[in-house]
A = this chain, B = another copy of it.
Amino acid sequence: MKVSSRLIRHLKLTKRSYGGVSTGVINGKRVGAMKLGVAYYPEHNKREHWGRDLEQMKGAGIERVRIAEFAWSRMEPDNGAFEWAWLDEFMALSMEYGMEVILCTPTACPPIWLVEQHPDVLPVNDEGRRNVFGARQHRCYNSPSYLKYSLRIVEEMAARYGKHPNAVAWQIDNEFGGEQKRCYCDHCRAAFQSAMEAKYESIGELNERWGNVFWSMEYQTFAQIKTPMKYTADLSLKNNPSLEMEYWRFCSDAIVSYCSEQARHIRKHNDGAKRPITTNRFSLIWGDNVRWPDLMRDMDVAGIDLYSEKLHEIAFYADSNYSLKPGASWFIEYGPGVNNLRDGMLQLQGRGCDWMTIFKFKPFPFGQEQGLQELVTLTGEPTDSYRVLEQWSAGPNMVEESRDAMFAPSGVGMYYHFESSWAYTISLWGAQIHHRLHYPNYVIDTVYKSLYRENKAHRIVFSPDNLEGLHTLVVPLQIVHEPALEDALLRFAEKGGRLVVTTDLFQKNAENVYLNDISRFYVEVFGLSSFIAKPLSEEPVQIRRSYGKGQVLLVKKDATLAEWESVVNELNL
């Protein structure tokens, strides 16, 4: 691991210098001190307070500020009229103070002139109402006007600051797809029809694979497909789960594609890897509508925002982030309660987080997020959180404190599958509406929680290609059948891996349709000829089988936390 020599060198340095150590892995253990940043809004604050604020940040050991993610109206107050003086000035001042800057593109907040000149920038909701101006994320990712003007401001910004000596990284947009997950406008409709035509080629093929014969939902042409607006009825009636599945995929893809476009525009003006690019995913509490592996593919760093006090949840996100980009994991917004801020930070650091950026330096006096307490109060007093950072930056942190309990990769993986989650959320009937099965909650608060150990880092697996080095893999609620995953699981067990799957495994296909034939896995591993329709026993583990050199456990799809813990005990994890 190339970082280790640097680490060893740093271990000989003074305590204070741990702030500069990157996270790395030595002899299979992750070590190193996480560095600190904070979100700041120069445009909210008087020019004469900037210096005082930067000074105060440094007092807590903060080395970076993240800025500008909502400042479009200050960068371009009117169409094509750019104003960079204020930002030039802040960049210069922050450099003076030795405070590095993460620059954010401001595209989550289209300004009033854009909305008024091109109302089709605004998304349309599932009842056909076009959104209004006046908060954030009021943009359709398929609107040509939005794409044109937002990429223009991105490129202007990149051209101006792409090589600025104090700009150390880029954040694209802010929490893509958070509050505005899916738009139902005519631009989206047309793009969706094209995407479906490209994928299915004939409308007959689409009808067949979506089961549109059901309720006579068959289309004659691709042009008849609409965005899945809310079906009006006196009792609940939903759209075809296959249509929804494809639309969710389409909306995730639109976000990913737009994010990549921003990255491409920034890279034109960015001198290589020196200034890594990322975007800040929101945590799954707010939905898992954007597929992380896709979104992170073109990013240099895995970025995520997290607001949680629960240690197992913090661990899950830290492990996820590290799994997506080992050695480049950033928590871009982190805002835990003050009571366990230090505990959370130790979890992040131990699980490979390089940078943690606190959200935020100071409360907003105005606007929709006004009034919360942060590092300092509105009148400038340091809060308890400030003291925690101060202490953190002054000490050796985990490296020294936790020498004997250093975090180690556990060799255990847990699979997370966005489309299995969607299949559960979209579908209406039977066990699928059981609250406990809402995929992300269940996977994090039940399955991962049973695996959680304070000082062991698991791998969160998002792809069949990432099983190398694991001795155990847990695959919960993997209802969607993917042939490549099926192959990989069989190979994993064959070679000696221990595999834990649940009774809903591989029952649906990628179109959110149940399989009519049992999948190969069941036949080869369990010798079954049909899916398991009802519990075989009351035990959490329904079947235990050897397979090749390995072992496969089939667990009830609705096992409780206690039941999962018994499975984990049985496996000595």
Q: Which residues of A contact B (CB under 8 A)?
A: 43-44, 70-74, 77-78, 106, 109-113, 116, 123, 125, 127-129, 131-138, 178-182, 210-220, 224, 226, 228-243, 286-287, 363-373, 377-381, 383, 427-430, 432, 511, 513-518, 529-531, 533-534
In the complex, the answer to whether B514 meets A370 with C-beta atoms within 8 Å is yes
Known A367-B211, A383-B533; judge A235-B178 contact (CB<8 A).
Answer: yes
Told that A133-B226, A180-B234, A366-B514 touch, could you supply 5 new A-B pairs with CB distance under 8 A? A72-B216, A179-B234, A180-B233, A379-B518, A381-B529
Known A129-B127, A232-B131, A530-B379; judge A116-B224 contact (CB<8 A).
Answer: yes
Rounded to whole angstroms, the CA-CA distance of A348 and B220 in the bound complex is 43
In the complex, the answer to whether B368 meets A241 with C-beta atoms within 8 Å is yes
The listed residue with most B CB atoms (<10 A of its CB), out of A113, A367, A514, is A367
Q: List 18 A-B contacts (CB under 8 A).
A: A73-B212, A73-B217, A74-B218, A111-B216, A113-B220, A116-B224, A127-B129, A131-B231, A134-B239, A135-B217, A135-B240, A179-B235, A214-B366, A240-B367, A370-B429, A371-B429, A377-B531, A381-B529
Rounded to whole angstroms, the CA-CA distance of A513 and B224 in the bound complex is 48
Chain B residue contacts of A380, Cβ below 8 A = 530
In the complex, the answer to whether A125 meets B232 with C-beta atoms within 8 Å is yes
The listed residue with most B CB atoms (<10 A of its CB), out of A228, A381, A533, is A533
In the complex, the answer to whether B214 meets A44 with C-beta atoms within 8 Å is yes
Distance (Å) between the CB of A71 and the closest chain B CB?
7
> A73's contact among B218, B373, B432, B518, by CB below 8 Å, is which?
B218
> A135's contact among B133, B238, B383, B516, by CB below 8 Å, is which?
B238
> A514's contact among B135, B238, B365, B533, by CB below 8 Å, is which?
B365
Known A232-B125, A533-B373; judge A213-B515 contact (CB<8 A).
Answer: no
> A215's contact among B128, B368, B428, by CB below 8 Å, is which?
B368
Distance (Å) between the CB of A88 and the closest chain B CB?
18
In the complex, the answer to whether B123 meets A232 with C-beta atoms within 8 Å is yes
In the complex, the answer to whether A71 meets B228 with C-beta atoms within 8 Å is no
Known A74-B216, A216-B71, A216-B106; judge A237-B370 contact (CB<8 A).
Answer: no
Distance (Å) between the CB of A392 and the closest chain B CB?
21
Rounded to whole angstroms, the CA-CA distance of A239 and B242 in the bound complex is 35
Rounded to whole angstroms, the CA-CA distance of A534 and B429 in the bound complex is 45
Rounded to whole angstroms, the CA-CA distance of A534 and B231 in the bound complex is 45
Distance (Å) between the CB of A67 and the closest chain B CB?
13
Rounded to whole angstroms, the CA-CA distance of A463 and B367 in the bound complex is 28
What residue in chain B is nearest A174 (Cβ atoms)? B215
Chain B residue contacts of A109, Cβ below 8 A = 215-217
Rounded to whole angstroms, the CA-CA distance of A70 and B213 in the bound complex is 8
In the complex, the answer to whether A378 meets B73 with C-beta atoms within 8 Å is no
What residue in chain B is nearest A372 (Cβ atoms)? B430
Known A371-B429, A378-B531; judge A128-B129 contact (CB<8 A).
Answer: yes
Rounded to whole angstroms, the CA-CA distance of A178 and B233 in the bound complex is 9
Chain B residue contacts of A379, Cβ below 8 A = 516-518, 529-531
Chain B residue contacts of A428, Cβ below 8 A = 368-369
> A513's contact among B135, B137, B365, by CB below 8 Å, is which?
B365
Rounded to whole angstroms, the CA-CA distance of A43 and B71 in the bound complex is 57
In the complex, the answer to whether A516 meets B378 with C-beta atoms within 8 Å is yes
Rounded to whole angstroms, the CA-CA distance of A333 and B233 in the bound complex is 21
What residue in chain B is nearest A122 (Cβ atoms)? B232
Distance (Å) between the CB of A228 and the closest chain B CB?
7
In the complex, the answer to whether A427 meets B370 with C-beta atoms within 8 Å is yes
In the complex, the answer to whether A513 meets B366 with C-beta atoms within 8 Å is yes
Distance (Å) between the CB of A431 and the closest chain B CB?
8
In the complex, the answer to whether B515 meets A134 with C-beta atoms within 8 Å is no
Rounded to whole angstroms, the CA-CA distance of A530 and B513 in the bound complex is 60
Rounded to whole angstroms, the CA-CA distance of A383 and B131 in the bound complex is 50
In the complex, the answer to whether A516 meets B128 with C-beta atoms within 8 Å is no
Rounded to whole angstroms, the CA-CA distance of A367 and B513 in the bound complex is 8
Rounded to whole angstroms, the CA-CA distance of A372 and B507 in the bound complex is 13
Chain B residue contacts of A138, Cβ below 8 A = 231
3 nearest CB pairs, A to B:
A211-B366, A214-B367, A73-B216
Chain B residue contacts of A43, Cβ below 8 A = 213
> A213's contact among B73, B215, B287, B372, by CB below 8 Å, is which?
B73
Rounded to whole angstroms, the CA-CA distance of A530 and B373 in the bound complex is 13
Known A529-B379, A533-B377; judge A135-B233 contact (CB<8 A).
Answer: yes
In the complex, the answer to whether B216 meets A134 with C-beta atoms within 8 Å is no
Distance (Å) between the CB of A536 and the closest chain B CB?
14
